[in-house]
Amino acid sequence: MSRYTGPRLKILRKLGDLPGLTQKKSKKTSPPGEHGQNIKKPSEYALRLEEKQKLKFNYGLNEKQLLNYIKNARKVQGSTGIVLLQMLEMRLDNTLFRLNLAPTIPSARQLVNHGHILVNNNNVSICSYQCKPGDIVSIKNKVSSISLVKKYIHSPGLANIPNHLELNKENLIAKINGIIDREWISLQINELLIIEYYSRK
């Protein structure tokens, strides 16, 4: 399955607030579809599927990528659900989004793909690059790169930069001080239901 490029507000109406997908808010409150008003009580499978879909759409992953993250999270000591969220939060595209250097994760992904981002003074064009404590993230010293990021910085983003990140707005240089804590993850999600969904795979 390829990355979702359809209407984002429709996804918000179905799954709730997804800060990484879009900053827009839908005026409609009912779920999408002809029978959106007639909501039945969801089954346990439907609840797990919905949490999984939230994760996929918020971080812009396809099914194969998410399954690989689940497998890698299981190999790490600790709670699989929290390790999974930490892995996704430490992706380069999400790190740029959390630093307010891009308004959404798709726009952060575009910054990375177009070669505007340096990590430890090396050009990185892979969105899934796993940032590590001590990494220095900066903007390429080009007028087009700097003006684009400055435009993004002045657009409204998330309220607070997480405590594991540090940003110098004048120089547009960020430092990663550690791994994100669970309470700083902005997405409202029950990660245990996602692990249960994939428990038979």
- Please report, in tens digits, the pLDDT of each residue of the chain (201 residues total): 456 666 666 666 677 677 666 666 656 655 555 555 556 777 888 889 888 988 888 888 888 999 999 999 999 988 899 999 999 999 999 999 888 888 888 888 999 999 899 999 999 999 999 999 999 999 998 888 888 888 888 766 656 788 889 988 888 899 999 998 888 887 888 889 899 888 866
Query: Among 185, 179, 181, 102, which Cα is nearest to 135's?
Result: 179
Q: Please say whether the beta carbons of 60 and 109 come within 8 A.
A: yes
Q: In total, how many domains does the chain have? A: 2
Q: Is residue 1 part of a domain?
A: no
- Is 3 among the domain residues? no
pLDDT averaged over the chain?
83
- Looking at the structure, do residues 98 and 78 belong to the same domain, yes or no? no
CATH number, position 116: 3.10.290.10
Q: Where are the beta strands (DSSP E) in the chain?
A: 117-119, 122-123, 136-139, 165-168, 173-176
Give the pLDDT score at 182.
86
DSSP percent split of the chain into helix, strand, coil, nearest 5: 40, 10, 50
Q: What is the pLDDT of residue 118?
A: 92
User: Do both 128 and 67 map to the same domain?
Assistant: no
Q: Is residue 108 part of a domain?
A: yes
Residue 95 and residue 163 in one domain = yes
Same domain, 114 and 191: no
Question: What local confidence, expressed as pLDDT, does residue 1 receive?
Answer: 41
Is 76 found in the same domain as 112? Answer: no
Task: For residue 34, give its domain range.
Answer: 8-87+186-197
Residues 83, 95 within the same domain: no
